[in-house]
Amino acid sequence: MEQERSIPSSLLSPRSPSSQPCLSVSVTDPVKLGNGVQAYISYRVITKTNFPEYQGPEKIVIRRYSDFVWLHDRLFEKYKGIFIPFIPEKNAVEKFRFSAEFIEMRRQALDIFVNQIASHHELQKSEDLRTFLQVEEETMERLRSHDSGIFKKKPADLMQLFKGVQSKVSDIVLGKEKPVEESNPEYEKLKHYIFELENHLTEAQKHAFRLVKRHRELGQALSDFGKAAKLLGACEEKAVGKGFSELGAKSEMLSIKLQKEAHELLLNFEEPLKDYIRAVQSIKATIAERANAFRQQCELAETTKLKEINLDRLVLVRSDKAAEAEVEYKELKAASEEATKRFETIVALMNQEIIRFQEQKTLDMGLAFHEFAKGQAHLANGVADAWRSLLPKLEALSVS
The confidence score (pLDDT) of residue 35 equals 82
Q: For residue 89, what pLDDT is reported? A: 80
- On average, the pLDDT of the chain sits at 85
Task: Kindly give the interhelix angle for 65-78 and 100-119, rounded to the nearest 10 degrees.
Answer: 30
* The pLDDT of residue 262 is above 50: yes
| Bridge partners for 23 per DSSP | 49
pLDDT value, residue 395 = 81
Q: Report pLDDT for 177.
A: 53
Q: Residues of the chain with pLDDT > 90: what percent?
A: 60
**Averaged over 12-24, what is the pLDDT?**
57
- Residue 191 scores a pLDDT above 90: yes
What number of other Cβ atoms are within 10 A of residue 18's Cβ? 8
Which tops the pLDDT comparison, 265 or 18? Answer: 265
Average pLDDT over residues 382-386: 92
69-120 pLDDT tens trace:
999 999 999 999 999 998 888 765 555 567 888 888 899 999 999 999 999 9
Which tops the pLDDT comparison, 156 or 112?
A: 112
CA–centroid distance for 25 within its chain = 17
Q: CA-CA distance, 49 to 236, in Å (whole number)?
A: 66
pLDDT attached to residue 91: 67
pLDDT surpassing 60 at residue 288: yes
Q: What is the pLDDT of residue 268?
A: 87
Find the farthest-apart pair of alpha carbons in the chain and give their distance in angstroms, rounded: 119
pLDDT bin (cut points 50, 70, 90) of residue 161 is very low
> Would strands 23-33 and 58-64 be described as parallel, antiparallel, or unpaired?
unpaired
Q: Given this model, what pLDDT does residue 172 score?
A: 44
Ordered domains of the chain (ranges, CATH): 23-148 (3.30.1520.10), 198-396 (1.20.1270.60)
Q: What is the pTM of this model?
A: 0.78
Which of 99 and 217 is assigned the larger pLDDT? 217
Pairing of strands 23-33, 40-49: antiparallel
7-21, 150-164, 364-378 — most confident range: 364-378
Look at 28 and 176; give whichever has higher pLDDT: 28
pLDDT of residue 237: 78
Q: Tens digits of per-residue pLDDT, 325-341?
A: 999 999 999 999 999 99
Q: What is the pLDDT of residue 98?
A: 76
